[in-house]
Amino acid sequence: VRYLEESKFDAVLTDPVLPCGQILAEHLSLPSVFFLRGIPCGLDFEATQCPNPPSYVPRVFTQHTDRMNFLQRVKNLMFELPNYFLCDFVFQPYVKLASEFLQRDVTVPDLLRQASIWLMRLDFVLDYPRPLMPNIIVIGGVNCAHKELPQVGRPQKISPW
């Protein structure tokens, strides 16, 4: 930590799924840049204050669209309920670590709200379109490699007439 303090970095680039990078950015008083696909339990929605009502936004694995009937909305809500309990359990060690290291009470959403820029690997062909805050930059397709297609037989010439 002493080396990082003396190095005078400009920012911290981190994946917020494990908030250790953000804890370090808070300690060093540096802006943080998040590079992610998404955070479990919808913490990315909560931290960026993006609307994400379970009665309208389809949840993963429900196979619903944005046009749901009442029973589908109820099912969508039921898929969301375990996230509240699971997140508290999963992120509890990081809350304790951050509170001890920063010497103040913090929560994971409080840490994530401090991000300067969110580089989101979203692609609205695969993901449900959603509102984005001004500090969210969509960079879909980052993990797609350019690959040559194999030639099958000899390519045919097609006449324009």
- Residues 54 and 101: their CA atoms lie apart, in Å, by 35
User: What is residue 159's predicted lDDT score, i.e. its pLDDT?
Assistant: 44
Q: Running DSSP on this structure, what letter comes out for residue 146? A: -
Place of tokens 């045919």: 156
- Residues 100 and 108: their CA atoms lie apart, in Å, by 13
- Residues 104 and 39: their CA atoms lie apart, in Å, by 24
> Mean pLDDT, 10 residues at a time, over the chain (161 residues)?
89 92 94 88 86 79 83 88 84 94 93 93 72 85 63 52 48
User: What is residue 41's predicted lDDT score, i.e. its pLDDT?
Assistant: 82
Tell me the HSE value of 23 on the side-chain side, using a 13 A CA sphere: 22
User: Tokens standing for 19?
Assistant: 């908030």
User: What is residue 88's predicted lDDT score, i.e. its pLDDT?
Assistant: 85
User: What is residue 62's predicted lDDT score, i.e. its pLDDT?
Assistant: 81
User: What is residue 160's predicted lDDT score, i.e. its pLDDT?
Assistant: 47
